[in-house]
Amino acid sequence: MSLHRTLRLITVIALLILAPHVAAQVVKLGLAEGEAVQDVAAELLTEIYKRAGLTANIEPLPAARVNYLALRNELDGEVARIGPYFEKNPSLFKVEPAYYYLVTTAFAHADRNIVITTPADLKKYRVGIIRGVVHAVIATDGVPDVTVTDSVAQLFRMLAANRIDIAVDVSLNGQDAVNQLGLKGIKPVGDLAKRDFYNVLIASRADLAPRIYPVIKAMRASGELDKLTKSLEKKRLSTGTRFRTDKP
């Protein structure tokens, strides 16, 4: 066999061996749709994965649906969840360290003069949250009058229409909803908790974590992660641009 043919054969064999490993680098993640904080998290994680040599294939879905699919191993993981989520879903793997965060915030009409300093203060009001959003469920535990909505937009439209007294959601989500829906006279009236955001992987893809966490650590240590986070949040609030899955 000639040297040329031998080299071609070696190349073909190498490509066949490497092909499955190349395909394995695409990671299918669920994203809680319609949430500004999740969109920013998706942008951050896309960059983190890129630097880790991975491709994040991110699909926006209702938050509860994302959980359902992850538990059925129909997704490789989720873009971002808070720590208590893993206590309720022990089969899912938390990639540490955290790469983002959220602030659980109460929103109300400014003319109501409502002030919320602790979750206990919510008990005397009609409160709205979004289905499948764990931090809001935790914040409203023990509140007798809670309305569960299907989206950020629905939650804040109900608040604007006085069908609820308080909307509990992420601070960034609320600011974005007020901007996007053109709502007047609605403002944050109290922060309830600040929680770290973690990438989620199903157990069979947990082996990817050692490729992801060194990137997060390096970006945090250099200050680059904080700088990128602030830039993406500012862009989101000024333009309202949603996370797109069809970007080149």
| pLDDT the model gives residue 241 | 77
| pLDDT the model gives residue 34 | 85
pLDDT per residue over 6-65, tens digit each? Answer: 444 444 344 344 444 444 489 999 999 889 999 999 999 999 999 999 999 999 999 889
pLDDT per residue over 134-154, tens digit each? Answer: 999 999 999 999 999 999 999
pLDDT per residue over 63-119, tens digit each? Answer: 889 999 999 999 999 999 999 999 999 999 999 999 999 999 999 999 999 999 999
Residues constituting the chain: 248
Q: Tokens 């993406």 identify what position? A: 232
| pLDDT the model gives residue 246 | 54
What is the pTM assigned to this prediction?
0.81
**Rounded CA separation 142/137 (Å):** 10
Question: How far from 239 is each of 9, 58, 100, 113, 179, CA to CA, in Å?
Answer: 53, 21, 21, 30, 10
Set out the domains of the chain in order of their start, with CATH numbers.
3-101+198-239 (3.40.190.10), 103-194 (3.40.190.10)
Residue of 1 and 138 predicted with greater confidence: 138
